[in-house]
Structures are given as structure tokens and as C-alpha cells.
Structure 1
Amino acid sequence: MGRILFISLVVIALAAVAYRYMVVPQGEQQAAAPGGPPPAPPVSVAKPVVETLREWSDFTGQFEAQESVEIRARVSGYLESVNFSDGQLVEKGDLLFVIEPRPFEIALASAKAQLVQAEAELDLAKVQLERTAELRKKDFASAQVFDERAAEVKNATAARDSARAAIDQAELNLNYTRVLAPVSGRVGRHEVSVGNLVVGGTGETTLLTTIVSLDPIWLTFNVSEGDILTYQRSIQKGEVESVRGGGVEVEGQLVDEKDWPLKGTIDFLDNQFSRTSGTIRVRASFPNADLFITPGQFGRVRVPMSQDKPTLLVPDTAVVTDQSTKVLFTVAEDGTVVPKPVELGSVTDGGLRVVRSGITADDEVIVNGLLRARPGQKVTPQPTEIAPPAKQASADAPASKQ
């Protein structure tokens, strides 16, 4: 019995040894060796790419017409004609609507007749005043009569001036029956059909249509306080010009475009930040000669934040976020992981992130294997290279802002 038990134990031991060497990998056998430290995990490291770039920040905004006009009736009457097609392009001074002019023509004729009457009364008053003056010299007329004749001349003069003003008003009202385009642009749909009564004057007037100008066109966008501060620091360093001076060149694109074909300038920076959003309103002007852009469309604009200068770039995937701090994991000469807080800039089209400060061009940055890296622990660095960004026409580094 004892012999059988001994043989069974030997067989079990041999089977266990064979299983370990057949199933468990050699590396884990070494790791499991009693008293031996675990091997340092491998990570891919690379030095930052150094490129001469101009850093940009880009923002999303909405296009607006530089001139947007509501065309309203200025006199009351029945609409006689609509002289445009809905949505067509019009030039300043084009005839849009005609309000029935006949009542205003009659009013003008009446005002002219009133002027003739007033001028006749004035002439008579002047003659009577002259006669009274001659009689007064000979004491044939009293001072009271003379004063009355002088007052009649003044009254007649005022009546004549009033009649002239009435003619001006009547002519103005008659002109208002022909509604002209005050600006060039695209007209909207007509809001009132022929035959309807429209109301003019100074109260609740009738909206007839709208016109928006198209060339040039504005792109309005909001900029955060942080971006404004960054820009102001660049102004202090002499790297960029002040926006308030006007003429700062920017580039724009529509939502379906990858490049930046629109070239414009910033022409307005608001005078205060919004208390609710913490942003400030900025406006850029772009030419729109082909009238391709329509007010209300969304677009993007990018603003230069620096001049062309040597810039450090790392893969955006290498950036680690620690609460509000951005960190890059670097590897020291002894293989220790050293986290370095960095100030980041924009992201290039190739996915590389601009690093403004925090690392040098000689730092070995972990670009792959971040999950295996722990600050202060050893790693096995495996050198690699970061592919430089594709060369662009403007050698830029755009950011993405909302």
C-alpha cells in the first residue's frame, strides 16, 4: 500500500512539472521566479517633431448680411403692382412695388392750388400795406390800421410757406407710392399681394418684403476669454497685430470644406464679454463676389495666433488629461516615467498637437503604451519616430473651437 502511494505521488509531481513547462510561457516562468522583479513594460517613445508653423485658432460662426432691410409701406393705399420675382437679385434703386398713386396725385394738385391762392393773398396783403403806409405818411390812416395791414402780410407769408411745405409733403407721399430697393442684394418673397390695402405712416406699418446684401458678407463668431488672452499675449510679444486696429487677415471655410479658400479680414471686436457665456463677439468680412454664401449659413474662421516659428509637435493621442492639467509622459535616461505638465496649442490637420511649453525637443515622449506607463516606474523604451504633418500651402496648425 505504501509503495503504491509513493508511486502515485511521484507521477503527480512529474505531471505538474511537465504542465508548467508545456503550458506556461517562458517569460511568465521567469516573472514567477521567487524573489525576481517583474520586467519593465515596453513603451514606444519618440522625440517631438520640430516644424516651422504658424499657429491658428479656428472658430465656428454664422454668416450675416452686412445690410438687412425690411421694406415697409410708407404711405397707405391699395397695392397696385409687384415688380420683382421672389428671391431675385435687385440693384439699389430698382422698382419693387407700386401703391395706387391717384389719391396722392390729387393731393399734390390740391396743394399746388393752395399755394397759388396763398401767393395771391400775400400779393394783395403787400399792396394794401404799401397803400396804408402812404396814407399813414399823410396822416390819413391810423397806426392801428397800419399794424393790421402789416400783420396781414405776415399771415399771408406764413400761409404761402405752409402751402409750399404741403406741396413738398404731397410730392414726398407721391414718391413713396413707388417703393424702390434701398440696397443691392437678394429680395425675399412678397408679403402682400396686389389689391390688398397696405398701411404706412409712423405706426404699425405693413411689411412688404426684405432685402439682404450678399457681397461682402460677415462671419460672426464668439471667442472665449482664454483665447482672447492668448491673442493679447501674442500682441505684446509683437507676433500678431491688434484686432481693433482692423485689417487682421483671417481665413474661412464652409462646413463641407477641408481647406481654407475664403480670405478676409476682422473688422469688429465687441467692447465687452457676455456675462452669460463668457465670450466676446468678433466679426470677419469676406468677399462673396459669386454670391455662393447665403446669410444664415454656418462656417468656420481661423485667426493667426503667431508668426511662423519653430514649433514642437506630438501626437494628440499622447496627451494625458489630469483633471484640468494636460500632461505628457516622458522617459528619463534610467527608464523612469516622468510626467511633465504642458501648455498645448492647436491640432494640425495631421493629428499632431502643438506644445507651447513644458517639454524640449530632446525629451523622449511616450507615444504608445500609455496604459502600461506609471509615473516613477521603470519602462523599456522602444524608439520610434513621429511622422511630420503634411505640408500645407500656409504651413499652419489650426485649432478647433466652438
Structure 2
Amino acid sequence: MIERLVSPSRSRSLGFSFLAVVAMPVLAVGLASCGPSEQKQAAPLPAVSVSTPVKRMVTDWDEFSGRFDAVQQVQVRARVTGFVTSVEFKDGAIVKAGDLLYVIDPRQYQAVAEQAEGQLQDAKARVVLAKRELERASSLIRTDAVSQSVVDQRTQQLQTAEAAVLQAEGALKRAQLDVEFSQVRAPISGRISRHLVTVGNLVQGSESGATLLTSIVSMDPIHIYFDMDERVYQRNSRLWFEGKRPSSRDTPNPVQVLLTGETKPSHEGKMDFLDNRLDAGTGTLRGRALVDNHDLSILPGQFARIRVIGSAPYEALLVPDAAVATDQSRKIVFVVKPDDSVEAREVTPGPLDDGLRVIRTGLKADDRVVVEGLQRVRVGAKVSPHPANADNGDAKP
């Protein structure tokens, strides 16, 4: 009777409920069998690239900010007064010593030179006459035809005529110099500035107020000046006393130059000057190096970074600079131990050498250093290490 009171649809609902009740424990048992340990084992280990440190001979370099300046620089000024008749150079061009730059009207100086030439010829003629008169007086005194005073007078006249020749020669040379100075020529080779005086203008050639015409600076080689602090100077002096580094005062130590925007040195040179005292205001010592500028790409006044040799060659361990991390005030690298767990190793880094960072202390030659994937490592956790060269050909240590 009870079965009749239950409808067919109700029977199906009860059947589904019964199946659900039976299935729930089975599903629960299945989920319970997948414990946390099995889920953790299923997760792959973090993949990292590792590499052993590079061992090679390196040299430390001290780096400073420097400014280029010309080895030679000249302000070209007028040496005679007159009107400019010609400008013979192109603004900003390279000129050679002796090249014609300006022409100043030379006619008045040529006239003076011709006048001085005539005065010289007159003085020479007087010398010839004075010699003949002295010879006559010398021959007549033997016969007592003239007195000794006459001979003395003729001798004095000859000496006066010879002095007049010297004066005339000096006046002629001065006049010829004025004619020569009317052609303004480059005193040195280098790059010339713009012309400051145009054709038709009067220029003054006086020593106190000579007119500035242009300027020239030499280009190759070129000087670079820099300042080193007292700490670097004392360290280098100590290395020199110990025989570990030659002094730049008596040895042209090599330097490397990095122009603005460069990451690698593009020019090389050598030290050629150290000042004789430290600046009392800044506590720095001025140094200077001579740099090759064959391509004329460097201009006086330009700023650059200069590297000066700071040690003798020594053997060191090097790693990619990206492998060195910062932990507050410490520098660390991550080392993969034999069991593939990660250890943080405190190191003492040195300078960069050809893109690699010198590690002074904290590493051994056979340590496996994490060079890629630092963000995936945890101290004490295991990783899946792979050689850096196999993962990325550019990640060479």
C-alpha cells in the first residue's frame, strides 16, 4: 500500500538521492588519498642557470671624471695695424701650421721697407768712402804729410759709418717683418674657430691692444685632466713603495677613456703629469693623461670617464655582474650545493673587468653560482640547476 502512494517521479528522485549518498563517501575517500606530500612532489623544482667562476689574470682600474683640453691652443691676434683685405680660411676647418689665415693691407709697410733698403745702401756707401779716406791718411802719415789726429778722425768716421750700416739693417729687418706680419698665418696645426673680423675692418697691431682674429686648438693628441682623492693617492703611493705598481710621475701608466654614453672604453692613452701638491680646498690631486684622437671625435672641453691602472696584474675569480645581489648592506651570491639546495654566500666584490665582476673573497673556483633565475631561488630550498651556456649562449661567465 505504501508503494502505491509514491509516484513514479518521486521514486526516481529517491533513487538519485540514494546514489548521491552512496557516492559521496567514495569521493571523499578518493580525495583523502591525495595527501599534501603527493601534491608537493608533483610540483617541479625551480630551474636556474649556474656557472662556475672564471679564473684569470686581471688588473684593477681606478675610475674618475675628467675633462679634455687641447695640448696647444692659440689666440690669433693682429701684429700690425691696417685694414683686412682677405680672409683665407673656412670657419671650423682643420688648418696646418703656416697656412694663410688673414691678409692685412701691406702697402704702407712695403713702402717703409723700400725706404729702409735705400738707407742701408746709403750707409754701406759711406762705409766704403770712410775706408778709402782712412787708407789715404794711413799712407800719408808715413811721410808726415798728415798728422796723427787726421788718421784718428778718419778711423772714427769709418766706425760711425759701420754703425750706421747696422742701424739701417735693423730698420730694414723691422720693416720686412711688418710686411710679413701683414699675412697672418697659423702658428700651430689644429681646428680653427670662426673668423671674428671680416674684410674691410681696421685691426690694431699694438702689443697692449692687439685685435683678436680667431683661435686654434690642437686636436691629436689631446689632454684629459682629472682629480683623484687623497685616499686613492695614498693607496697608489703605498703600492709604489711596495713595488706593486709603477708611479705615474715617472712611468706613462696606461689609461682608458669612456665618452658620454659609452659602456666600454673607446680611446686609450697614457699618464704624463701629476701635480706637485694636493688642493687644500678639495683634498684632491690633479692628474693629466695624453689620449690619442686620430679620428678627431673628441673636442676640448668635453667630459668623459677615465680609468687609470690601479694595481699590478693578479689572479682573480669573476662572475657575471647580474649574479651579485644586495642584502641590506651585504653583497651576496647564491651558490647551489652538491645536494642542489641553495646557499646565500656573502662576498666582497671588486671592479668590473670586461663585463664580469671581480670577487675578492667569499667564493671558490668550483662553486656553482646562480647566474640566471635569482628571483626563483629560496635559501635552503632545492632547485634544478642547468649550465648557463646550455640555457643561453649569451650568459657566459
Please report the TM-score for the alignment, with normalisation by the length of structure 2. 0.69
Aligned partner of 1:283 in structure 2 is 288
Gaps in structure 1 of 5+ consecutive residues: 1-47, 321-326, 330-339, 363-379, 396-402
What CA distance in whole angstroms lies between the structure 2 residues aligned with 1:86 and 1:50?
53
Measure how far apart 1:242 and its partner are: 1.9
Aligned partner of 1:34 in structure 2 is none
Conserved 8 A contact 1:246-1:268? no
Q: Rate the CA distance shift 1:343–1:121 in 2: closer, same or farther, 3 A.
A: farther
Amino acid at match of 1:226: R
Aligned partner of 2:165 in structure 1 is 160
Over aligned residue pairs, what C-alpha RMSD do you find? 3.6
Conserved 8 A contact 1:136-1:142? yes
Which of 317, 326, 329 is equivalent to 2:326?
317
What CA distance in whole angstroms lies between the structure 2 residues aligned with 1:262 and 1:174?
44
Aligned partner of 1:185 in structure 2 is 190
Conserved 8 A contact 1:93-1:181? yes
What CA distance in whole angstroms lies between the structure 2 residues aligned with 1:89 and 1:149?
61
Amino acid at match of 2:315: K
Aligned partner of 1:145 in structure 2 is 150
Amino acid at match of 2:296: L
Q: Rate the CA distance shift 1:207–1:242 in 2: closer, same or farther, 3 A.
A: same
Matches within 5 A, 1:232-247: 232-247=237-252
Conserved 8 A contact 1:312-1:361? no
Which of 202, 214, 220 is equivalent to 1:215?
220
Conserved 8 A contact 2:324-2:331? no
Gaps in structure 2 of 5+ consecutive residues: 1-51, 333-345, 365-377
Measure how far apart 1:317 and its partner are: 2.9
Measure how far apart 1:50 and its partner are: 7.8
Measure how far apart 1:237 and its partner are: 3.8
Could you report, residue by residue, the CA deviation over 1:303-328 in whole angstroms, capped at 9, with x for unpaired residues?
Answer: 121213225889473473xxxxxx77
What CA distance in whole angstroms lies between the structure 2 residues aligned with 1:202 and 1:95?
21
Measure how far apart 1:348 and its partner are: 6.5
Aligned partner of 1:195 in structure 2 is 200
Amino acid at match of 2:247: S
Aligned partner of 1:308 in structure 2 is 314
Measure how far apart 1:153 and its partner are: 0.6
Amino acid at match of 2:316: P
Aligned partner of 2:233 in structure 1 is 228
Q: Rate the CA distance shift 1:79–1:283 in 2: closer, same or farther, 3 A.
A: same
Conserved 8 A contact 1:51-1:312? yes
Amino acid at match of 1:89: I
Q: Rate the CA distance shift 1:309–1:351 in 2: closer, same or farther, 3 A.
A: closer
What CA distance in whole angstroms lies between the structure 1 residues aligned with 2:53 and 2:278?
37
2:161 aligns to what SS in structure 1? helix
Measure how far apart 1:156 and its partner are: 0.3
Q: Rate the CA distance shift 1:142–1:51 in 2: closer, same or farther, 3 A.
A: same
Please report the TM-score for the alignment, with normalisation by the length of structure 1. 0.69
Matches within 5 A, 1:91-170: 91-170=96-175
Which deviates more, 252-261 or 310-319?
310-319
Measure how far apart 1:226 and its partner are: 0.8
Q: Rate the CA distance shift 1:316–1:241 in 2: closer, same or farther, 3 A.
A: farther
What CA distance in whole angstroms lies between the structure 1 residues aligned with 2:354 and 2:127?
83
Amino acid at match of 1:71: V
Could you report, residue by residue, the CA deviation over 1:146-182 in whole angstroms, capped at 9, with x for unpaired residues?
Answer: 2111111100000011111111111111111111111
Amino acid at match of 1:295: P
What CA distance in whole angstroms lies between the structure 2 residues aligned with 1:318 and 1:121?
99
Amino acid at match of 2:101: L
2:60 aligns to what SS in structure 1? strand
What CA distance in whole angstroms lies between the structure 1 residues aligned with 2:303 and 2:266?
15
What CA distance in whole angstroms lies between the structure 2 residues aligned with 1:221 and 1:352?
25
Which deviates more, 81-90 or 242-251?
242-251
2:85 aligns to what SS in structure 1? strand
Identical residues among aligned pairs (%): 37
Amino acid at match of 1:265: K
Which deviates more, 287-296 or 240-249?
240-249
Which of 290, 298, 301 is equivalent to 1:293?
298
Structure with greater Cα Rg: 2
Which deviates more, 79-88 or 307-316?
307-316
Conserved 8 A contact 1:105-1:174? yes
Conserved 8 A contact 1:316-1:351? no
